[in-house]
Structure 1
Amino acid sequence: MAPIGNSIERRYDLAWLRFIAIVILLFFHTGMLFNPWNWHIKNSETSNSFTYWMIWLHFWRMPLLLFISGAGTYMALGKRITAQFVKERFTRLFIPLAFGIFVIVPPQIYFEHISEYKNYTDFYPTIFRFIPYPQGSFSWHHLWFVAYLFVYSLISIPFLIFLRSEKSFRFRGIISKALSNPVAILFVPAIFILITQIILRPYFPEETHALLDDWGFFTFYFCFFLFGMLCYSNSLLWEAIGRHRNYLLVATILSLIPFYITYFHFREIITLPWDNNTVETIFDVTAIFVSWFCVITVIAFGQHYLNKPHPWLKHFNEGLYPFYILHQTLIIVIGYYVCQLPWSIGIKFWTVSLLTLLSCLLIYFALIRPFTLMRIFFGMKPLKKKESEPVHQALAN
């Protein structure tokens, strides 16, 4: 067993879980075309059946990515000095964010308001009025995750430096002992997150992804990012999480009972003997516990079953970031046309999903992976000479 003072080696399970989380995003955002929730564009016919699985995914898909990103940020600091770390974060996060705002996101806004413009050329100059969406055309849309991650990385530098120093040995020992049993692993972080939301949600109730007026959810996601760093930096705590995976799974399943009972109340499937404000409070509190329970359970089972190498894993993870940047725009562009076809919702859902996947792969292999400049725009490392190869060869590997 590794000592508390040492971090865990780079693990395959986190890479697999990152891959799984991004695939979930593909289907989740495709589902947004067909569920009754408000989104950028919608199919003329929607189905409530999408909400039953999407409401659950909504509360842990992004927290899982933030937890994994916290662990990844801890690794990114590595042996770098602070200035090198900031430069690496700027290159990996800020440059793709800026590129995305001016190149990737605008088609989403255009197709949402397509009837207001003659063509895309007519629309595009409106971005440079710098009027924030939805009043204007300036937005980072789904790239809020990249923006928040960039800010999280910078403000967490003091904590990162502390965790990597010998001064943190006692602190990590205390944390390891305090969270060494499944009850503590489940409830201490969840209650901490809950307290932050009790303090902030009355003032910032809506999830806007706009940073400056989103402090409640900004803090909510930041907690998962910090716990990702903390858990990954402590080998004893990490092993305890995996060891208690079955207890975590049972707790997660049990937490879904009040979660769905209150959700079914709002869907008018059942009626609870309380007013809607009380039921909503119960749902919001339960959702926080579901978020943490699901994330930590997935992490636990991932480290037990997915910590295995695969020859494709490196290639998967190299392309995940470009895939994330591209996927929502392609869903909206493809979805706009598919939703006009006289097909069933099921056929449209799978058509948009598969065409988006294929389009992402084609753009990645043909336009991003072979070119150093495009790799930089999409947060990838510059192309090495030995990586230069024809597109057909890259597709074959």
Structure 2
Amino acid sequence: MSGRLYYVDWLRVIAFAILVVYHCSVAFFPDMSWLMKSAQGSEMLSLVMKFPRAWRLALLFFVSGMGTWFAFRSNAGLTFLRDRTTRLLVPLLFAMCVIIVPQVWFERVYEDGYDGSLMSFWLTRYFTEGKYPQGNFTWAHMWFVAYLLVMAFLCYPIFRLIIDPRMRRLTGWFESVARSNAIYLLFLLPLVLNVALSPIFPRQTNALYNDGAWFAVWASWFGLGFLVARHHHAVIEAIVDRRWLSASFALTLTVTLYRHSWAAGPDDAFMGDYDNMTVLYKAALFGLAWSMILTAVGFGALHLNRKSAALAWLNRKIFPLYIVHQTIIIAALFYVLPLEAGVAEKMSLVLLVTIGGSLALCLLFEQLPWPFRALVGLPEQPADAPAPEKSTVPLRY
């Protein structure tokens, strides 16, 4: 089978859907502080969401790494960096200066009792009171985009090296590992880097400059995605063949984490938890993330690698949806949290508003002329133009 790897697009859509559901639920976690917190909480909801929390970002960075290979292969020259800048930096700056502003305003009104208008907040306070959380200026959820941009530039020399024929011995070693059971040991890459850097960068901040230990983790998943895509023809068959083994590892680690961490009592939680990340806990967490990635790739390549009009429609809107979704969530929470209703009803309403509002904004964005489309992460090509089929290496299974 040859042609575009549609399953990668499906994984991107699925990963984003998980992200939206997770973000719509965080305000109701009694054991976590977020941008806006509900007075009503659900221990069960928090407990259930600890599972996707363990691997959702790893999957997003991995899929982004795969997509970066296809972009890099199309143009391995400096045009790649120019395209990454247009694709990532422009929406990042626009979101920080415009789209995220209502998100912070709603938070200040709800949490701090600010009584000024959105326009007044934007013009007089957002840019002038320092960086969030003490101030207001922030990239919020767009930290993910900022990290991808930095990774693209930092990894560019490595990308060039990987495609050099003189590196065939090293890339051949990766193919051999990825075709064997040793592939499951690759979670050690983010683990070792994180443990080594944690004494210097002890906290996860999403602020880049002081987040070295976790930047290394996200860059590891990103790099592994790039490598799997780069050597797709050589490794995908083995990943598909091991999909049930990958799922078994994921299930075992999930049960272990629930038993000895997430749902454990004080005497049984010896592994640590999200607030006390021991080396053992990180090993289980990264092992679960890698097993889930391999499970998703294995089953996705086998069952989802087919063309779909719905997929094409959704895939085009994923990036602008990501850009706007958290602002819609915070706005929905602002109006939904005061209602007389239970947690399930409130979360469901927030989810519906988020999906509907985000899609409505994306449909409006589609009407923008170029270059305004670049501000919200849309390509120059209009929605109704036929998209060229991207050539990829064949799937051999």
TM-score, normalized by the shorter chain, greater than 0.5: yes
Q: Deviation at 1:343?
A: 0.9
Distance 1:273 1:104 in 2: 41
Q: Hey, what does 1:38 align to over in structure 2? A: 33
Deviations 1:181-211 (A, max 9, x none): 23x1111x11122111110122222211000
Q: Hey, what does 2:20 align to over in structure 1? A: 26
Of 375-384 and 142-151, more deviation after overlay is shown by 375-384
Q: Hey, what does 1:194 align to over in structure 2? A: 191
The Cα RMSD (Å) is 2.3
Q: Following superposition of structure 1 onto structure 2, how do residues 153-164 of structure 1 map, counting pairs within 5 Å?
A: 153-164=152-163
For structure 1, the 5+ residue unaligned runs are: 2-7, 389-397
Q: Following superposition of structure 1 onto structure 2, how do residues 146-185 of structure 1 map, counting pairs within 5 Å?
A: 146-182=145-181, 184-185=182-183
Whether the 8 Å CA contact 2:191–2:282 is kept in 1: the answer is no
1:330 matched to 2:328: yes
Q: Hey, what does 1:67 align to over in structure 2? A: 62
1:57 matched to 2:57: no
Distance 1:326 1:273 in 2: 38
Q: What amino acid maps onto 1:298 in structure 2? A: A
Deviations 1:113-157 (A, max 9, x none): 111242212211322226111011111010000000000111111
Distance 1:291 1:307 in 2: 22
Q: Hey, what does 1:236 align to over in structure 2? A: 234
For structure 2, the 5+ residue unaligned runs are: 387-397
Of 213, 220, 224, 1:223 maps to 220
Distance 2:25 2:241 in 1: 35
1:271 matched to 2:267: yes
Q: Hey, what does 2:395 align to over in structure 1? A: none
Q: Deviation at 1:275?
A: 9.3
Deviations 1:280-309 (A, max 9, x none): 523232112111111122111111111111
Q: Deviation at 1:363?
A: 1.1
Distance 1:275 1:57 in 2: 18
Q: Secondary structure at the match of 2:28?
A: coil
Of 10-19 and 290-299, more deviation after overlay is shown by 290-299
TM-score, normalised with respect to structure 2: 0.90
Q: Deviation at 1:276?
A: 6.3
Q: Hey, what does 2:73 align to over in structure 1? A: 78
Whether the 8 Å CA contact 2:76–2:160 is kept in 1: the answer is no
Q: Hey, what does 1:99 align to over in structure 2? A: 94
Change (3 A) 1:275 1:49: closer
Q: Hey, what does 1:381 align to over in structure 2? A: 379
Distance 1:249 1:87 in 2: 39
Of 8, 11, 14, 1:17 maps to 11
Change (3 A) 1:311 1:154: same
Distance 1:9 1:196 in 2: 36
Distance 1:9 1:170 in 2: 27
Of 105, 114, 117, 1:116 maps to 114
Matched positions, count: 378
Of 284, 287, 290, 2:288 maps to 290
Q: Secondary structure at the match of 2:338?
A: coil
Deviations 1:206-227 (A, max 9, x none): 2110000100110000000000
Change (3 A) 1:117 1:199: same
Q: Deviation at 1:255?
A: 1.2
Of 291-300 and 356-365, more deviation after overlay is shown by 291-300
Change (3 A) 1:273 1:154: closer
Of 24-33 and 365-374, more deviation after overlay is shown by 365-374
Distance 2:33 2:269 in 1: 29
Whether the 8 Å CA contact 1:117–1:123 is kept in 2: the answer is no
Of 280-289 and 195-204, more deviation after overlay is shown by 280-289
Q: Hey, what does 1:314 align to over in structure 2? A: 312
Q: Hey, what does 1:394 align to over in structure 2? A: none
Q: Deviation at 1:385?
A: 9.4
Q: Deviation at 1:94?
A: 0.1
Of 359-368 and 149-158, more deviation after overlay is shown by 359-368
Q: Hey, what does 1:132 align to over in structure 2? A: 131
Distance 1:367 1:159 in 2: 35
Q: Deviation at 1:35?
A: 1.1
Whether the 8 Å CA contact 1:241–1:300 is kept in 2: the answer is yes
Q: Hey, what does 1:372 align to over in structure 2? A: 370
Change (3 A) 1:170 1:274: closer
Q: Secondary structure at the match of 2:33?
A: coil
Q: Deviation at 1:384?
A: 4.1
Q: Deviation at 1:247?
A: 1.0
Q: Secondary structure at the match of 2:309?
A: coil
Q: What amino acid maps onto 1:167 in structure 2? A: R
Of 246, 249, 252, 1:248 maps to 246
Whether the 8 Å CA contact 1:70–1:227 is kept in 2: the answer is yes
Change (3 A) 1:274 1:31: closer
Q: Following superposition of structure 1 onto structure 2, how do residues 342-361 of structure 1 map, counting pairs within 5 Å?
A: 342-361=340-359
Q: Deviation at 1:387?
A: 4.4
Q: Secondary structure at the match of 2:127?
A: helix
Q: Deviation at 1:29?
A: 0.2
Question: Percent identity at matched positions?
Answer: 28
Deviations 1:314-363 (A, max 9, x none): 11111010000010110000111011100111111111101110111111
Of 197, 200, 204, 1:203 maps to 200
Distance 2:22 2:160 in 1: 36
Distance 1:238 1:268 in 2: 37
Whether the 8 Å CA contact 2:366–2:383 is kept in 1: the answer is no
Distance 1:369 1:243 in 2: 44
Distance 1:211 1:70 in 2: 18
Q: Hey, what does 1:392 align to over in structure 2? A: none
TM-score, normalised with respect to structure 1: 0.90
